[in-house]
Amino acid sequence: MAHVSIIDIARLAQVSPSTVSRALQNHPRISPERRAEIVALAEQLGYRPSQVARSLVTGQTHTLGVVASDVTDPFVAEVLKGVEAAARRADYGLLMAMSNRDPAQEIEAAAVLLDHQVDGLIVISSRAPERYRHLPRTRAHAVGGAVPVVLLNHDFSEAGVYSVRMDNAGAASAAVTLLSQLGHRHIAFIAGPGGGQSSHARMTGYLQGLALNHLTPLPELILQGAGMLEDGWEALAALQAMQPRPTAVLCYNDLAAMGLLAAAAKAGVGVPDALSVVGFDNIPLSAYTVPALTTVEQPKAALGQAAVRTCLRALAGEPAPPVVMSGQIILRASTGPCRLPSAVG
């Protein structure tokens, strides 16, 4: 009994395999009693249709591919959770691969998933969006067009490439405005990984925010980073050495902010008294730091769900316009009024 097939059922029910096939997929043209009989028999025999065989003939695997930069990043994990939930609700399987933040690995992973004939591809935080243009993604069967690719957290208009992201610039700008309203004049920025759209957009938003609040952007107040704990940790020394000395910092993400918080605590730099810190993402842990982190909430699960929805829509041939969600500032204890007289005007 190496797996019961549609033929076994047909034999037992004394009908043809096609009848069984039809009965099992609620085909309209079949008599109710036959269907009932067959369905019951299938159930009783523990029949499970072979997705593989089905895929071969239909040209669809009912599977979505996800390539994530790094599940270990809480933001990515939350998004992935949203993707998984949505995919499952739609009865889609999820083939997962990790890019480890490396463009080459990302494309390689995407190619592998495509080889497994995923019906659609979702890429979380792409670093090589332009390469999807030339990635061969024709489908075996000429079911529809090419395999749709949804870029989560990236912009890229191209046929068959869809986009779901947050308004990073707007949110970063709002964060700067918050700090400005608290009286901060020298606001530093710890940037994110080069190549990422969110990184670029947050930087842009930071600059827009400064402009909006009539603050002069100073290149020396911008630090490089990669969105990791270590970045924030190492940033403290640099921040303290800056002229003018910043009284507030906007971080690329919560991870960097948490690293900074830890360094500040160790160095005895009071937060928020001596330094206000703002993160980005609102990962669960950000509510449990000391002091609790002021941050920008991203609708992480919703982003994941939207990506799946967009993908399925594209698959159905429906229009799937870019999705842009907006963030929201979560005010907690790591920000406060500027206590230091600013060195400059």
Partner DNA sequence: TTGTAGGCGTTATCAG
Partner DNA sequence: CTGATAACGCCTACAA
Contact with its own copies (CB under 8 A) among 18, 44, 72, 224: 72
Question: In the window 114-173, what residues touch DNA (CB under 7 A)?
Answer: 140-141
Report which secondary-structure segment, H or E, holds 248. Answer: strand 248-251
Cβ contact 190:227 at 8 Å: no
CA distances from 316 to 62, 120, 161 (A): 13, 11, 14
Using the contact rule CB under 7 A, the part of the chain among 47-55, 264-272, 277-285, 330-338 near DNA is 47-55
| C-alpha–C-alpha distance, residues 30 and 13, integer Å | 14
Distance of CA 58 to the CA centre of its chain: 30
Alpha helices in 124-228 (DSSP H): 168-181, 197-212
92 versus 206: smaller Cβ distance to its own copies: 92
Q: Residue 262's binding partner, choosing from its own copies, DNA, none, with beta-carbon cut-off 5 to 8 A by kind? A: its own copies
Position 57 contacts DNA (CB under 7 A):
yes
97 binds, among its own copies, DNA, none (CB under 5 to 8 A by kind): its own copies
CA-to-CA distance for 62 and 54, rounded, in angstroms? 10
Minimum distance, C-beta of residue 131 to DNA, in the bound complex (Å): 23
Residue 18 in the binding site for its own copies (CB under 8 A): no
* C-alpha span between 251 and 190 (Å, rounded): 5
Residue type, 179: L
Separation CA 26–CA 136 (nearest Å): 35
Options 19, 22, 78, 192; binder of its own copies; rule CB under 8 A: 78
Contact region for its own copies (CB under 8 A) — 161-169, 241-249, 254-262, 308-316?
Answer: 254-262
Q: Which partner from the list DNA, its own copies, none does 24 bind, CB cut-off 5 to 8 Å by kind?
A: DNA
Task: Name the 3-class secondary structure at 2.
Answer: coil
Site for DNA, residues 1 to 20, rule: CB under 7 A: 2-3, 5-7, 14-19
Which member of 70, 102, 167, 297 binds its own copies (CB under 8 A)? 70
Cross-strand partners of 73: none
How far apart CA 251 and CA 245 sit, in angstroms, is 16
Provide the residue type at 115 as one letter.
D
Indicate which of its own copies, DNA, none lies near residue 294 (CB less than 5 to 8 Å, by partner kind). Answer: none
**Residue 61 in tokens:** 């695997």
Distance CA 128, CA 102 (A): 9
Binding site for its own copies (CB under 8 A): 1-3, 46, 48-53, 55-56, 61, 63, 70-72, 74, 77-78, 80-81, 84-85, 88, 93-98, 109, 111-117, 136, 138-142, 229, 233, 258-259, 261-262, 265-266, 284-285, 287-290, 292
Binding site for DNA (CB under 7 A): 2-3, 5-7, 14-19, 21-22, 24-25, 28-31, 34, 47-50, 53-54, 56-58, 140-141
